[in-house]
Structure 1
């Protein structure tokens, strides 16, 4: 069965559409089509912003295939729908920032650039809808390009090492009359710091001051972090002294001031300037800002890595004496430190310390600690977390026993981390799967979805092998695959360019009689066309 045949089966005819799900989407596209026939983009825009309905491209394609005749109208509707979707996204700044973060983490630079260009096209004819400043917002341009959008794109471009795109964005903003404020300058500093671009960081700092932009706490934090990470400790301390001499208004967020001090504590300890860090800590205790749990965690992590357990214990006691409770970073650091001392009773000691702090540990508490430790990319923390997991399994209290969430969290963290020694990963994975079977904890569909995502994010060959093994396990455990299952594995395989595996998944979907709809059909089209577009001559699905 070809992809075109599946399209015909994918959706009911328009006459059968109701007002929920598919039907609502089709009615929305029909209304946009009516506006397009009257050349009334602005009316379509206001309707789209009122309903904020997300319409995926395959649904638009399927609707347009039902239209007969006028190809110009089809092109106009397609253009309207694309533009309106970008307007919807920009009108929801939190969603846009989250999308940029996800795409950046996947290093999908091409898609990030494409989406940015589609958005800034909203400043220009033929259908302008985007206002660069609050003063420019009008009935014709009802969507404001928020500062968070500029800053998120800057951070994304620089994290992907596309300095050219960050510079283009800066010029685009200035051309639209946007005067970059401290948030945009700080985004540049953070972005250059993330790629360890020291010269660009210093040039940006000087340019910001020349533009008469007064640096705030977050700008100083970004600068200091980069200087310390690049081992420019003397210059960092000179800038910190400059920061301390500034008179921030009482309204300034004390939490932001504290972030600057914590950055300096971390930087001094990174440079092994322990005495200077201790002196700064004492000044904070007497004159403020008052140290928080992050301050103490910074010292504890330093002493744990150094193997100085006496100072480690002293720092933890200081945290307790300050009336603060440890967080997951604290407990995973404690666990790691105890593991390094070869203490076999580390998990029990962690439990005892928690109870001394009047914290009643349960499976949720321990699961949070495990999740944090596995994500730290620190082998000693992972081994300490593994000891904690085994200790939990041996307890008499059922409230401490690992559950499905605990095991899934551990497995997904390991599968995501390509840095982990394969032998250690296999040992942990084998133990977990055996424990789940022994305890009659059967992975459900959600568990497998998490594991499939995590494995496919691992770019190494074992990531693919493990994903396909979990995929096969679903049949072995009689876990039914649904739309999301197929979407997760196909999108992951396409992203990796594993066309042969993707083709086999499509074949299995067909053999099982699963009828794809919506966005899944688009993935299938990509699988059909992908090998040809990339010059891959391997067999297409049959």
Structure 2
């Protein structure tokens, strides 16, 4: 079938790679005596770019059988849909993301041999090959391939030039230069990356804010950012007349935090305002999200300061911002001893834990980050915001990971609350559907809501709960969870969850 996916000879030769398929939804016939509602969906245009995304995803997930199925399906169509260069590039991307150099080289060689003759490997296919070597920590080989790419006749033609190369050769697009520089930076080759930036500008390609953000990410990595290099990049951004974006300011904030500045958050906001970038809820949310990923106390503290700053300016924080912050605290618990988590008097965390008076004594005695997360949950609920499923799952996982009686009891109580809330949502949606039974247009929306909130616990919540009990060796409660899944009629379709269920049924790790 789809031999190209696993390195065997492909079945298709030729084709421009820009074919499209009209795919109609297959609808089951109505049951006897049942009228079909609604109208059939119109045919959808299936582009190779869409197929490429699925190919890349399945290969990256090591599910090459699914990628082969798609490849074979394309060729089985009448007339056959010959996989074009875009599909091949998706295939290469899947392997490159895993750093599998040999697989990338085999697929690239296959593309050159049996791929569309009118569309030889272009700059994007070549870059996947280069990226694979960067990911495998082979920067010298990656740059050798990059130089070959710049001289390749097919690449030059795809860029709108001739095939002779030389000084008159068309320059690479900016994104290609950016990927090469990021690859060098990720391998610790700063000097070469900066030299490539100069080469890019000499070629007549001006850097964008994305270019400089790549350098900032490298220079701010680790516990001791290169302050001099960060300042140098910020000056270049100013010299080029570029507008910093949210990511730029996140890197600036992290640099100031690493420098030990207690007012780092306020200074960053001031810099943003001087740059005429008005912080919005989206801006704050993006910075908060980036900060909490590290789990470092200073970053969590800065994220809380941003939340306080937002609400002081009457910029409403949404559930996404609160959930990011809660996840940050909960995720940092395993790596943060209690002694290191206690907030100092000047810490913004004090403002969070000050609200812990509303918690019971047992909850207040938990890890400071658990207390902070619980207090943030109360805080968002007072503002009319409801913790979503992602936040609930984070609490379940963190509570069970505590391996304590309080943690287990909290997880079970929270799960029961989640069940009740989903049941209430189901009943409310059903009532809305009945109330609008004669209104026509509102029926479909109400039915959709009822289906979405039908009370069945989602797969990821079952997984978190089962995984937590299995990890702490509580197979008795894990077995009770499996019984509850079956009682609700839940059908396991996730392979990871199925493995856990099988493990519980066997009764051993």
TM-score, normalised on structure 1?
A: 0.59
Map residues 3-402 of structure 1 onto 2, 5 A cutoff. 32-34=30-32, 50-52=39-41, 146-148=47-49, 150-167=51-68, 169-171=70-72, 173-174=74-75, 176=77, 177-211=80-114, 212=117, 213-245=119-151, 246-249=156-159, 257-305=173-221, 307-375=225-293, 378-380=294-296, 383-390=298-305, 392-393=307-308, 397-399=312-314
Once structures 1 and 2 are overlaid, which stretch shifts more, 184-193 or 214-223? 214-223
Cα distance, 1:152–1:400 mapped onto 2, change above 3 Å = closer
Cα distance, 1:206–1:248 mapped onto 2, change above 3 Å = same
Once structures 1 and 2 are overlaid, which stretch shifts more, 210-219 or 337-346? 210-219
Distance in 2 (alpha carbons) for counterparts of 1:238 and 1:525: 45
State the shift of 1:264 in Å. Answer: 0.5
Once structures 1 and 2 are overlaid, which stretch shifts more, 489-498 or 181-190? 489-498
Provide, for residues 109-145 of structure 1, a one-character-per-residue CA deviation record: whole Å limited to 9, x for no partner.
xxxxxxxxxxxxxxxxxxxxxxxxxxxxxxxxxxx76
Cα distance, 1:292–1:467 mapped onto 2, change above 3 Å = farther
Cα distance, 1:506–1:486 mapped onto 2, change above 3 Å = farther
State the shift of 1:313 in Å. Answer: 1.2
Distance in 2 (alpha carbons) for counterparts of 1:325 and 1:185: 36
Question: In structure 1, the residue corresponding to 2:242 is in which secondary structure?
Answer: coil
State the shift of 1:342 in Å. Answer: 1.5
State how many pairs are aligned: 397
Provide, for residues 153-174 of structure 1, a one-character-per-residue CA deviation record: whole Å limited to 9, x for no partner.
4223322223455445545544
Cα distance, 1:48–1:248 mapped onto 2, change above 3 Å = farther
Provide, for residues 504-540 of structure 1, a one-character-per-residue CA deviation record: whole Å limited to 9, x for no partner.
5799999xxxxx9xxx6445999xx9999777288xx
Which structure shows the bigger proportion of residues in helix conformation? 1
State the shift of 1:148 in Å. Answer: 4.6
Structure 1 gaps, min length 5: 1-27, 37-43, 53-87, 93-143, 511-515
Once structures 1 and 2 are overlaid, which stretch shifts more, 447-456 or 274-283? 447-456
State the shift of 1:392 in Å. Answer: 4.3
State the shift of 1:492 in Å. Answer: 2.4
Once structures 1 and 2 are overlaid, which stretch shifts more, 346-355 or 360-369? 360-369
Indicate the structure whose relative CO is greater, using CA pairs within 8 Å and at least 6 residues apart. 1
Q: Please name the residue that 1:79 is paired with.
A: none
Does residue 492 of the first structure (1) align with residue 494 of the second (2)? no
| Aligned residues of 1:416 and 1:455 also touching (Cα < 8 A) | no
| Aligned residues of 1:220 and 1:260 also touching (Cα < 8 A) | no
Structure 2 gaps, min length 5: 1-26, 162-169, 342-366, 427-452, 468-474
TM-score, normalised on structure 2?
A: 0.63
Distance in 2 (alpha carbons) for counterparts of 1:409 and 1:217: 37
Does residue 406 of the first structure (1) align with residue 406 of the second (2)? no
Cα distance, 1:531–1:196 mapped onto 2, change above 3 Å = closer
C-alpha RMSD of the superposition: 4.8
Please, which of 451, 472, 487 is the counterpart of residue 391 of structure 2? Answer: 451
State the shift of 1:198 in Å. Answer: 0.8
State the shift of 1:215 in Å. Answer: 1.8
Distance in 2 (alpha carbons) for counterparts of 1:383 and 1:488: 36
| Aligned residues of 1:395 and 1:401 also touching (Cα < 8 A) | yes
